[in-house]
Structure formats: structure tokens, C-alpha cells
Amino acid sequence: MRSRETSSASIIRRSVIGLAVLSLVAAACGGDDDDSGTPAVTDAPTATDAPDTTDAPDTTDAPDTTDAPDTTDAPGEMTGMIVQPGVCGLGNGEAATGTPIKLGGAATNIPGVDFTWIPKMAKIYFDCVNENGGIYGHPIEYSYEDGAPDPAVWSAIATKLVETDKVLAIVGNTSLLECDVNGQYYADHGYHPIIAGVAPGCFLSDQWSAVNMGPYYSNLGGAQAALRAGATGKLVVASPDQPGMDFNNTSVQDIAIQEGLDFEGILETVPIADPAGFAQRLVQAAGEGGGVVLNFTGPTVLPLLQAISEQGLVDSVIWASSTPPNDPSVSAALKDCCGTDWDGKFLINAEFNVLDSGLPDNNKMIELHDAAGADFPISAFSQFGYVIGKWTTEALLRMGEGADYTVETVNQAIFDLKDAESDMICKPWYYTNGSSANVSNNTDRTVTPQDGNMVQVEDCFEIEAIAKDDAKGINGNPLEEIRSNEG
């Protein structure tokens, strides 16, 4: 008979960070932003590229904690950017009063999936830009729509933005579906949206460009972390039973074949009707020494993690994940339900820096968010919104003073955007570099829950470029081409 103590301290400070990531969007984040405890930050490897850390996940002890990530890779001296780190636009403190520049966005918002935090944070940033000189005196007038995952709804939203509101650019769109619906429409009307991408289609063309990398690459990043943590058996990836997810699972299949490992892709209806049974199935599928990459949203994966912990399966295989659960409220909930079971044991792929990095853009985001009294939490989503706002502002400012703002000129400026920097990402971002696919964010970190926070266990590493190999059944990804074009 084994009985464990009740997790008594259920009273947590969820009021600030209660909301959670619900998406399939890749994300990154860090510890809590409130005063509940000193955020624990691991001694992230100091190397810049593909680290070989394997220590954290397989030890039961907490990873060593040190100060914030070392600053060797911190963008201390950003060059070429008009918008300086941690500054809104021109940062001159003068309110913009000229003719406004109208921008619009849209995000999925249904019970269970709320992506509006991204346009909401972008709007907060634009408001700050307007207080700081605007675009050479022109304020940005930004609004956003929301909708359910129904093609009819998304088709109507694009029409409203373009033909009714007559916005000059589409900014901050985050949708389960839009990239599969509105490509031709935006092409016909000359728009190049800057978005956060979910569907695979968001990363296949330069009609739009996402600041994140989406589940296909994030799954791969999770699998890489699992391999480095010592997964030597079968690789299993489990995704929700939704369109495009079969495709997203193949990124893990590719690396499994390349490494000579067995593979199984599982699609599961969500919410998972019997998390305990599903946990058993995953462990039986992966077997001894196997690795499991979970590709579910926070609300879906939490009960599963809870069930895994309750059945004592945490150490049976190596658990990894795509980005969505990388959210402080998930780590807080894990501490609630499962104590320290998951500390260092759940390797989450993360595209953005931890939230408590202490770097200028991150701090500015938290400052703006608090000042605006926003009704959504600080999370990876707010980071998406912040950089979308920042880089759109940069593109507009690069048009120069006295520019003529039309749909054509503004979208050209956005399309031409290169060397966009922020301390939230591993390397500069660009709209497109003319490759056959468009994944300009392709370098990630790995984070893990630790004592109620999300902490970094691996610093920036490259998502594996895998070449197509029909003989072996590898579909391959275009990262090698993209990186060679990056130069």
C-alpha cells in the first residue's frame, strides 16, 4: 500500500495567470510574473546552437538554479532596427495626431480556444506607439475580429477587414483555419499578413509570414529534445484528431526513420474521454526506452499529465511536447495536481524566450500589459502579439518620413521586412527569403515545469533539417533550403 500525501497547498495565485494557452500555436514562456516565488531558471547551456544537454530530464532533482539566462546571446547591441529594444516605435513621448494608418486583425475565439490575446497585445503595443510619435506623427488605428473555426466565418472576416473596414494591412491574425481559406483572397487584394501560424498552410507560402513555427516544427523540436534526453526506443507522437494533424505528425516520423527508430503516430479525439486509459496506451505504444511527443493544448494535456502521474507512468518513457503547454498556468496547475512529479520530466519545445528573461522587450511587454490592465494573462501569446506589433511598426517606420500609405506600399514594406530583432527570439526574423516554404522562426529552446514555473533546460538550438528520401520514406522538410537562403 502506497499512499502519498495530499497536495494541500491548492491555494495559488491563479487570479493573475489563471488563463492558459489553448492553442496549437508554438510558444515560449517562462516563470510567473507575480511574487509567488523566485523564478527558477536553469543553468541553460551557454552555447548558441544545438546543445547536447541531457542532464535535466533524467534526474529527479531540480535542475540547478542560477540567475537569469546568461547574456551572451542577449541582443545587447541591436543594429539596423529603428525600433530600439524595449521601446515603443520612435519612443519620443509625443502623441501622434496625424491621419491614422488603419490596420486590422482577427483571431479564433470559441469556448476552449481563445487566440485573441495575440491581437489584444498587438493593440496594446500600437497604443504605446501612438503615445510615442506614432509612425512619424501618424497614429496606428488597429482593431480585430474574432470567429469560430468555420470556413464561412473566416471568409466573411477577411471580406470585412479588406472591403468594409478597408484596412491597409492585416496584422496579428491567428486562426485554426484561415491559412487554408483566405490565401487566394489576400493574394487577389494585395495583402501580406503578418501572423501567428497554426495550420500547416501558414508556413508553406510567402503570402503571409508567421512569427512562430507551428506544430509541425514544434513537434520535431520536441522529438529532438526527447532524443537528447535519451530516448532510444520507439518514438510516438500524439495529436488531436483534427485536419492537418496527420501531416504535423510526419515531422516526428521523419526524424524517427533518420535515427533508425520505430515510429507510431496517434490521433486522438479531444478532449480525451479517458485520460488514464490513453496514458496506458501511449506508454504501451512507446515501450521501454521510448519517447512520446504530445501535441495538445494546455487544457487537454493537463488531465493527461495528471493521469500519467497518478498511474506512476512519469518515468516509463521520456515525455516531450510541442509548444502549447508552455505556459505558466500549466506549470502552476501541474504543481497543484501532481506535486513535483513532473519537475524536469516534461520537455516542452519553446520558440520564444522565457517570460522572466529580464531583457528589454520582455520587460517592456510586461510593463505595457500591466499598465493597460489587460484582461488576459502574460504568456507566449502576448509575446507573439508584442513582436507582431513591434515588427509591423518597424516595417512602417522603414518606409521613411512622409511616405504614402496605401495597401500596396504598406504591404510591400511588410513583405520586404528583414533583420527584425527582438530579445524574445533566438535570431533575427524576416518576412520571406524566397524559399519554397516560409519558416523564418526555426530555432528553439526547451523548457520544463519546475516547482510551479516553466524554466529553460536547453538554450537556442536549430530545428533539425531533414532531407527528403523517398527510398527510406522520409518526407523531409525545407529547413536546409531556408537556412542556406538565410546565408
Partner 1 sequence: MTHANPTDNRLPSILTAATPRRVITFVAFVLIALLLLPIVLSAFWMKIMFEMAAYSLVTLGLGLLVGRTGIYSLCQVPMMAAGAWIALRVHYLVDLPFPLLLLISGLLTGLLGIVIGLPAMRLSGLYLALVTLMAAGAITLLLTVVKFPNGGDGFWGFDKLNSSGQNILPRPSSATSDIAFYRYTVVVAAIGFLVAAIHITGKPGRAWASIRQSEVTAVSAGVNTTLYKLWAFALSAAVTGVAGGLIVAGTGVTTNQFPVEQSITLLAVVLLGGVYNLWGAVLAAFFLRVFPQILDKKLGLPVEVLTMLFGVGVISTLAMQPKGVVEDLTNLGRFVGSKFARSERAEHEGVAT
Partner 2 sequence: MPDFKPYIVIGLALGGVYAMSGVGLVVLYRTTGVLNLFYGAIGALGSLVAWQLINEHGWNNYVSFGTAILLSGVITFAYGWFFGPPFAARDPLVKASASLGFALILLGFMQWYWTADVRTLALPTTRMQYVNGWLRINWTQGIGILFPILIAFITVAFLNRTKVGTAMRALADNRDNAALLGVPVRKVEAFAWTGSGILFGISGLLLASLVSMEIAALTFTLPVAALAAALIGKVESLSVTVIAAFLIGLIQSSLGAMNSVAQYRNTTPFVVAIIVLVYFGWRGQTERRVA
Residues within the interface to partner 2 (CB under 8 A): 1-7, 10-12, 14-15, 18-22, 111-114, 241, 267-269, 271-278, 280-281, 284-285, 298-300, 302-303, 306, 310-312, 327, 329-330, 333, 336-338
In whole angstroms, give the CA distance from residue 183 to residue 223: 30
Q: Which does 150 bind (CB under 5 to 8 A by kind): partner 1, partner 2, none?
A: partner 1
| Part in contact with partner 1 (CB under 8 A); list of ranges 160-168, 352-360, 366-374, 466-474 | 160-168
One of 9, 58, 97, 152 touching partner 1 (CB under 8 A): 152
Among residues 20 and 202, whose Cβ is nearest to partner 2?
20
Q: Among residues 219 and 448, whose Cβ is nearest to partner 1?
A: 219
261 binds, among partner 2, partner 1, none (CB under 5 to 8 A by kind): none
Give the torsion sign (CA, 407, 409, 410, 411): positive
Q: Using the rule CB under 8 A, which residue among 30, 201, 325, 344 binds partner 1?
A: 201
147 phi, psi to nearest 5 deg: -165, 165
Q: Closest CB to partner 1 among 170 and 229?
A: 170
Q: Is residue 266 within 8 Å of residue 238, measured between CB atoms?
A: yes
By CB under 8 A, residue 119 contacts partner 1: no
C-alpha 84/C-alpha 110 separation (Å) is 36
Out of 30, 89, 149, 291, the residue judged to bind partner 1 by CB under 8 A:
149
- CA 241 to CA 293: how far, in whole Å? 15
**205 near partner 1 (CB under 8 A):** no
Distance CA 288, CA 285 (A): 9
Among the listed residues 145, 40, 129, the one whose alpha carbon sits nearest the alpha carbon of residue 88? 129
Work out which of 280, 363, 433, 475 binds partner 1, going by CB under 8 A: 475
Is 146 or 444 the residue whose CB approaches partner 1 more closely? Answer: 146
241 belongs to the binding site for partner 1 (CB under 8 A): yes
Q: Which does 243 bind (CB under 5 to 8 A by kind): partner 1, partner 2, none?
A: partner 1
Q: By CB under 8 A, tell whether 159 contacts partner 1.
A: yes
Query: Per CB under 8 A, which region of 175-183, 312-320, 325-333, 423-431 contacts partner 1?
Result: 175-183
- Which cell goes with 197? 501560424
Nearest approach, Cβ of residue 23 and partner 2 (Å): 10
**Cα–Cα distance measured from residue 27 to residue 384, given in angstroms and rounded to the nearest whole number:** 8
CB 326 within 8 A of CB 30: no
Judged on CB neighbours under 10 Å (0-12, 13-18, 19+), 8 is exposed
Position 111 contacts partner 1 (CB under 8 A)? yes
Cell of 183: 490565401
Nearer to partner 2, 189 or 281 (CB): 281
User: All 3 cell numbers of residue 271?
Assistant: 478532449
Cβ closest to partner 2, residue 142 vs residue 384: 384
Alpha-carbon distances of 477 from 460, 465, 469, 472, rounded to whole Å? 19, 6, 10, 14
- Rounded distance, CA 347 to CA 210, Å? 23
Listed residue (358, 303, 304, 294) closest to 326, CA to CA:
294
The closest alpha carbon to 72, from 51, 99, 93, 96, belongs to 51
**Binding-site partner at residue 184 among partner 1, partner 2, none, CB < 5 to 8 Å by type:** none
The answer to whether residue 376 forms part of the interface with partner 1 (CB under 8 A) is no
Whether the CB-CB separation of 27 and 350 falls below 8 Å is answered with yes
Contact residues: partner 1, CB under 8 A: 109-111, 145-146, 148-152, 155-156, 159-160, 163-164, 176-177, 180-181, 199-201, 204, 241-244, 246-248, 250, 267, 269, 475
